[in-house]
Amino acid sequence: MIKNNKEMIGSILIILAGCFWGSMGIFVRKLGTYGFDTIQIVSIRVTLAALIFALILLVKDHAGFKISLRDLPLFLGLGFGSILFFTVCYFTAITMMPLSTAAILLYTSPVWIMLMSILFFHEKMNSRKLIALALAFAGCVLVSGISGGGITPIGLLVGLGSGIGYGLYSILGTIALRKYSPYTVTTYTFIFAAIGSWVICHPIKMINTFSSTTDLIFLIMFCCLTALITAVIPFLAYTLGLERVEASKAGIIATIEPMVATLIGIVVFSEPLTIMSGLGILLIVSAVVILNLR
């Protein structure tokens, strides 16, 4: 019973993370109106998130800033190889192919997580996981829209790279959590992601965009809110969830994100709900329910 309760709490945390991630479109579209490109929005998001995570760690457990030098490659992998890599790949894929196709390739992540979990953690494969995986992926395909046009070999590799990088966080995060607290893991992950983002975001141009705006105070506050809602809360919740749930299971539950994004598109941006999208939402919810049946 204790184990089941622990896993249930972990599942709820991951669902919470997916819901917050699903709201990202609201903030990205708003920041885009100020003239920021997608990579600059990524940089703003991860930089402010790194500062907020560092502040949380300072208050929660300042001793958590101490990490072993031999674990530095692990955090470099989390920051560069996962967070920054998957984001850059995803936004690059968006420019190379239809958005729906890019989203489908991103949400191959549960497949990669499951394969890596079997390889590295020797997690057991069972019929329930396979059924849930199939339902979740089919749901993502229907929610994102079925589109196979405009794919080049390079675009396919970049799109799959986003899914692999996205899934890598669950694998490397699980390893890091064996030794460090979730607060330490998220703080150093975003510190390294922020450092990497400043190399590729054209920082001078980004700073000029800030300085040219007429409502700088509002923009700064909105950027902080963006980091809090789309990065700090969801990544902390997801990392806390990884302490309680298997990586492969967490990856499947997190596919609730495109469902939430679709619902927000309908409510906030008056986007139409198609029969296929509605069916996809039901499949994703079914996958989450199947994984959490006792």
Identify the pLDDT of residue 2: 44
Tens digit of each residue's pLDDT (9 = 90 or more) over 176-193: 999 999 999 999 999 999
Instruction: Give me the long-range contacts of 63-67 (CB less than 8 A, separation at least 24).
Output: 64/180, 64/181, 64/183, 64/184, 64/187, 65/184, 65/187, 67/180, 67/184, 67/188
Distance CA 180, CA 43 (A): 25
Distance CA 252, CA 284 (A): 9
Identify the pLDDT of residue 111: 81
> Which pLDDT band, with edges at 50, 70 and 90, does 226 fall under?
very high
Distance CA 56, CA 51 (A): 9
Identify the pLDDT of residue 124: 80
Q: How would DSSP label each residue in 33-86?
A: TTT--HHHHHHHHHHHHHHHHHHHHHHHHGGGG---GGGHHHHHIIIIIIIIHH
Q: Higher confidence at residue 72 or residue 23?
A: 72
pLDDT at 3 over 60: no
Contacts (Cβ under 8 Å, ≥6 apart) of 110: 133, 136, 137, 167, 248, 251, 252, 254, 255
pLDDT at 265 over 90: no
Highest mean pLDDT among 21-25, 27-31, 209-213: 209-213
Mean pLDDT for the chain?
85
Rounded average pLDDT over 145-165: 75
* Measured CA distances, 74 to 71, 83, 125, 171 (Å): 5, 13, 26, 11
Distance CA 159, CA 143 (A): 17
- Of 46-50, 103-107, 211-215, the one with minimum mean pLDDT is 103-107
- Of 12-16, 104-108, 136-140, 146-150, the one with minimum mean pLDDT is 146-150
Q: Higher confidence at residue 181 or residue 283?
A: 181
Identify the pLDDT of residue 149: 53
> Which pLDDT band, with edges at 50, 70 and 90, does 224 fall under?
very high
Identify the pLDDT of residue 292: 67
> Which pLDDT band, with edges at 50, 70 and 90, does 1 fall under?
very low
Q: Higher confidence at residue 26 or residue 204?
A: 204
DSSP state of 123: P
> Which pLDDT band, with edges at 50, 70 and 90, does 51 fall under?
very high
* pTM for this entry: 0.82
Q: Higher confidence at residue 134 or residue 123?
A: 134
Which conformational region is residue 55 in: left (phi greater than 0), alpha (psi within -120 to 50 degrees), or beta? alpha
In the chain, pLDDT over 90 holds for what percent of residues?
41
